[in-house]
Amino acid sequence: MIQLKPSSEASSDLFSVFARNVMGTYVLPLEIDRGVPVADLTRSIVEMMSLPDDCVWDLRDEGSSAFLDPSRPVGEQVEAGARLTVTPKTHLG
Protein backbone atom coordinates (compact mmCIF):
# COMPACT_ATOMS: atom_id res chain seq x y z
CA MET A 1 0.00 0.00 0.00
CA ILE A 2 1.41 3.40 -0.99
CA GLN A 3 0.95 6.27 1.47
CA LEU A 4 0.49 9.86 0.39
CA LYS A 5 0.48 12.55 3.07
CA PRO A 6 0.64 16.33 2.85
CA SER A 7 4.19 17.56 3.32
CA SER A 8 3.14 20.41 5.60
CA GLU A 9 1.79 18.26 8.40
CA ALA A 10 1.73 14.66 9.55
CA SER A 11 -1.85 13.51 9.91
CA SER A 12 -3.37 10.24 10.94
CA ASP A 13 -6.53 10.86 8.92
CA LEU A 14 -5.72 8.23 6.29
CA PHE A 15 -8.10 6.26 4.11
CA SER A 16 -7.74 3.77 1.28
CA VAL A 17 -8.64 4.21 -2.37
CA PHE A 18 -7.75 2.43 -5.61
CA ALA A 19 -6.34 4.27 -8.62
CA ARG A 20 -6.21 2.84 -12.12
CA ASN A 21 -5.18 4.03 -15.53
CA VAL A 22 -7.83 4.68 -18.16
CA MET A 23 -7.20 1.30 -19.84
CA GLY A 24 -7.60 -0.55 -16.54
CA THR A 25 -4.24 -2.29 -16.97
CA TYR A 26 -2.62 -0.75 -13.89
CA VAL A 27 -4.28 -0.59 -10.45
CA LEU A 28 -2.67 0.99 -7.38
CA PRO A 29 -4.01 0.50 -3.86
CA LEU A 30 -3.32 3.78 -2.05
CA GLU A 31 -3.53 4.93 1.53
CA ILE A 32 -3.87 8.69 1.43
CA ASP A 33 -4.45 11.56 3.79
CA ARG A 34 -7.88 13.13 3.35
CA GLY A 35 -6.22 16.57 3.18
CA VAL A 36 -4.07 15.86 0.11
CA PRO A 37 -5.14 18.13 -2.76
CA VAL A 38 -6.41 16.20 -5.78
CA ALA A 39 -3.84 17.92 -8.02
CA ASP A 40 -0.99 16.52 -5.88
CA LEU A 41 -2.58 13.08 -5.77
CA THR A 42 -3.04 13.08 -9.55
CA ARG A 43 0.61 14.04 -10.16
CA SER A 44 1.76 11.29 -7.80
CA ILE A 45 -0.38 8.66 -9.49
CA VAL A 46 0.79 9.72 -12.97
CA GLU A 47 4.40 9.46 -11.80
CA MET A 48 3.90 6.07 -10.10
CA MET A 49 2.28 4.67 -13.24
CA SER A 50 5.00 6.16 -15.47
CA LEU A 51 2.37 7.91 -17.59
CA PRO A 52 3.43 10.67 -19.99
CA ASP A 53 3.93 14.01 -18.28
CA ASP A 54 3.39 16.06 -21.44
CA CYS A 55 -0.38 16.28 -20.98
CA VAL A 56 -2.81 17.32 -18.26
CA TRP A 57 -4.40 14.49 -16.26
CA ASP A 58 -7.69 14.38 -14.33
CA LEU A 59 -9.00 12.00 -11.68
CA ARG A 60 -12.49 10.58 -12.03
CA ASP A 61 -14.50 8.81 -9.34
CA GLU A 62 -15.85 5.61 -10.89
CA GLY A 63 -18.72 5.47 -8.38
CA SER A 64 -20.21 8.83 -9.32
CA SER A 65 -18.54 9.31 -12.74
CA ALA A 66 -17.61 12.81 -11.54
CA PHE A 67 -14.26 14.42 -12.22
CA LEU A 68 -12.58 15.54 -9.01
CA ASP A 69 -11.82 19.21 -8.42
CA PRO A 70 -8.00 19.46 -8.45
CA SER A 71 -7.97 22.40 -6.04
CA ARG A 72 -9.91 20.64 -3.26
CA PRO A 73 -8.76 17.91 -0.85
CA VAL A 74 -9.49 14.37 -1.96
CA GLY A 75 -11.24 13.54 1.33
CA GLU A 76 -13.91 16.15 0.63
CA GLN A 77 -14.79 14.47 -2.66
CA VAL A 78 -14.58 10.70 -2.24
CA GLU A 79 -15.14 8.09 0.45
CA ALA A 80 -12.85 5.31 1.60
CA GLY A 81 -12.65 2.49 -0.95
CA ALA A 82 -13.32 4.79 -3.89
CA ARG A 83 -12.09 3.65 -7.29
CA LEU A 84 -10.40 6.48 -9.13
CA THR A 85 -9.34 6.59 -12.77
CA VAL A 86 -6.56 8.82 -14.02
CA THR A 87 -7.51 10.03 -17.48
CA PRO A 88 -6.12 12.61 -19.92
CA LYS A 89 -7.97 15.90 -19.61
CA THR A 90 -10.07 16.50 -22.68
CA HIS A 91 -11.66 19.69 -23.93
CA LEU A 92 -14.88 19.21 -25.82
CA GLY A 93 -16.25 21.96 -27.99
- What domains does the chain contain, in order, with CATH numbers? 2-88 (3.10.20.90)
Can you give the pLDDT at residue 11?
A: 52
What number is the average pLDDT over the span 6-11? 50
Q: Where are the beta strands (DSSP E) in 1-93?
A: 2-4, 14-21, 27-33, 57-61, 83-88
* pLDDT given for residue 4 in this prediction: 62
- Alpha-carbon distance of 46 to 6, in angstroms, equals 17
Q: Assess whether pLDDT exceeds 90 at residue 93.
A: no
- For the chain, what is the total number of helices (H) and then of strands (E)? 1, 5
pLDDT computed for residue 13 by the predictor: 83
Predicted pLDDT at 20: 96
CA distance 49 to 18: 13
Identify the pLDDT of residue 3: 55
Residues 16-74: tens digit of each pLDDT: 999 999 998 999 999 999 999 999 999 999 999 999 988 999 999 999 999 999 999 99
pLDDT of residue 5: 55
| Whole-number pLDDT of residue 1 | 47
